[in-house]
Amino acid sequence: MMLRNAAEQGVEVQEETRVLEVLFDGQKAVGVKVQNKDGNVEEVRASVVVDASGQSTMLQNRLKLRVWDPVLNKGAVWTYWENAYRDTGKDEGATIVIQTPNKKGWWWYIPLHNNVVSVGVVAPFDYLFKGRGSHEQIYNEEKEATPDIIRRTANAKRVTGYFATKDYSYRSKECAGDGWVLVGDAFGFLDPLYSSGVLLALKSGELAADAICAGLAADDVSAAKIGGWGPNFNEGVDRMRRLVCEYYDGFSFGKFIKNFPDLKNTVTDLLIGDLFTDRVDKVWQPMQTTYEENKKPIPTWTDPATVELPPAKANELFLPEGHRP
Ligand SMILES: Cc1cc2nc3c(=O)[nH]c(=O)nc-3n(C[C@H](O)[C@H](O)[C@H](O)COP(=O)(O)OP(=O)(O)OC[C@H]3O[C@@H](n4cnc5c(N)ncnc54)[C@H](O)[C@@H]3O)c2cc1C
């Protein structure tokens, strides 16, 4: 929808065209080399290159900017069901999160169009994949252990094979350089627990667009000018990350709201993505009062010294046989 809208607003859109590399003149990005669907390669010059390549993280890889999150390394296995249980009324389309009974992971339950529901399980990477057989086996074992998922899919028909990802959260050290900007997953990826990915992709796109417009108007596309939004954006991502980590550490929103009813609206604001204001920071101190004794502080995303990281980490996506990305 956004791509079509951009085209309607006068943007020249080229689909089925692959960016092969970003062209640099010294430190400054000056354009891209692209290959169109007929195989022709050409160079396109640009004042600013926006890398929105998702988890391919084109520039982040090239410039070695990635910082892996020291805590959030999860895997997911999912499939799609037709005719699975749907709530009624205004909750029909509601996304639901269901904890696995052993509390090691959680299920997403996302009603889609055409009577299809996406049902997937997320858990720590090692627990989910190490020594456990095929993705189908893993999925079925976790499903059999979760009565709510059995119940919701009892009359449903599975309509695809099994998808899986090995997802480590990451962010780039920089959101921009001279003549280039990173947005969306090309900048960073955060654990999908609270479905924040699209919000963060849109927000970073919006902030980058404003900064680029100001830069072009001032004839200054330096890193400082087109990347000034980075610190504020990172603070917002940190707020969502903290909520995610608190959940994995056993934090209960229900109990918290019972103890601090005045903060219910603020917690709701955070969860729906009101992340870019310090107004919401008043929840953290009361949250800390609910911690169990000896709870370890949550390491920051720039603190990789706290855990042992595998030497060759990479996010991977596994598709069922015959499925095209
Ligand atoms: C398991 C899982 C569950 C998730 N659940 C949710 C959810 O419920 N809600 C939510 O908001 N988010 C969710 N997310 C996150 C969300 O999908 C992403 O954050 C979001 O899609 C990022 O948008 P993007 O535009 O940055 O990247 P993408 O949507 O990945 O788009 C990148 C685009 O760039 C193209 N591209 C890549 N390389 C090149 C190249 N060299 N040349 C040309 N084109 C290229 C790709 O083909 C793709 O079209 C989930 C993610 C995962 C892994």
Residue nearest to atom 33 of ligand 1 (CA): 53
Say yes or no: 72 and 161 in one domain: yes
For residue 81, what are the domain limits?
68-168
Domain presence at residue 136: yes
Residue nearest to atom 16 of ligand 1 (CA): 197
- pLDDT computed for residue 312 by the predictor: 62
| Full DSSP string of 136-186 | HHHHHHHHHT-HHHHHHHTT-EE-S--EEEEEEEEEES-SEETTEEE-GGG
Say yes or no: 42 and 73 in one domain: no
pLDDT tens-digit readout, 33-52: 999 999 999 999 999 999 99
- pLDDT computed for residue 324 by the predictor: 64
Say yes or no: 30 and 115 in one domain: no
Domains of the chain: total: 2
SS3 call for 302: coil
Mean pLDDT of 186-213: 95
Domain presence at residue 62: no
Are 211 and 232 contacting, i.e. CB atoms less than 8 angstroms apart? no
Q: Which atom of ligand 1 is nearest to the CA of 18?
A: 42
Domain presence at residue 4: no
From ligand 1's centre to the CA of 153, what distance in Å? 27
Closest CA to 214 of 200, 233, 203, 228: 228
Q: How confident is the model at residue 303 (pLDDT cuts 50, 70, 90)?
A: confident
From ligand 1's centre to the CA of 56, what distance in Å? 9
Buried b (16+ CB within 10 A) or exposed e, 223-238: bebbbbbbeebbebbe
**What single-letter amino acid sits at 320?**
P
- pLDDT computed for residue 43 by the predictor: 97
Domain presence at residue 201: no
| 41-45 and 49-51 beta bridge pairing | unpaired
Is the CB of residue 52 below 6 angstroms from any atom belonging to ligand 1? yes
pLDDT averaged over the chain?
92
| 163-172 and 96-99 beta bridge pairing | unpaired
Say yes or no: 19 and 80 in one domain: no
Say yes or no: 90 and 154 in one domain: yes
∠ CA(129), CA(198), CA(72), 5° rounding?
35
Domain presence at residue 23: yes
Domain presence at residue 216: no
Are 49 and 32 contacting, i.e. CB atoms less than 8 angstroms apart? yes
Q: How confident is the model at residue 304 (pLDDT cuts 50, 70, 90)?
A: low
Is the CB of residue 54 below 6 angstroms from any atom belonging to ligand 1? yes
Q: Which atom of ligand 1 is nearest to the CA of 315?
A: 53
Say yes or no: 83 and 118 in one domain: yes
Q: Which of 21, 53, 183 to mutate to test the pocket of ligand 1 (most atoms within 8 A of CB)?
A: 53
- We report the CATH number of the domain holding residue 88 as 3.30.9.100
Domain presence at residue 147: yes
Say yes or no: 76 and 130 in one domain: yes
pLDDT tens-digit readout, 147-189: 999 999 999 999 999 999 987 899 999 999 999 999 999 999 9
**What single-letter amino acid sits at 309?**
L
pLDDT tens-digit readout, 249-285: 888 888 999 999 999 999 999 999 999 999 999 999 9
- pLDDT computed for residue 291 by the predictor: 86
Is the CB of residue 35 below 6 angstroms from any atom belonging to ligand 1? no
Say yes or no: 75 and 41 in one domain: no
Say yes or no: 74 and 124 in one domain: yes
From ligand 1's centre to the CA of 11, what distance in Å? 21
Pairwise pLDDT comparison (227 vs 192), residue with the higher score: 227
From ligand 1's centre to the CA of 189, what distance in Å? 9
Dihedral sign for Cα atoms in the order 224, 226, 230, 236 = positive
Using the 3D structure, point to which of 145, 168, 191 is the last residue of a domain: 168
Are 138 and 76 contacting, i.e. CB atoms less than 8 angstroms apart? no
Using the 3D structure, point to which of 137, 168, 199 is the last residue of a domain: 168
Q: What percent of the chain has pLDDT over 90?
A: 75
Own/partner pairs, 133-139, CB within 8 angstroms, 24+ separation: 134/162, 135/77, 135/162, 135/163, 135/164, 135/318, 136/161, 136/162, 138/77, 138/164, 139/77, 139/78, 139/79
- Tell whether the model's pLDDT for residue 310 goes beyond 90: no
Domain presence at residue 275: no
From ligand 1's centre to the CA of 196, what distance in Å? 12
From ligand 1's centre to the CA of 81, what distance in Å? 22
Distance from C-alpha of 121 to C-alpha of 100, rounded to nearest angstrom: 8
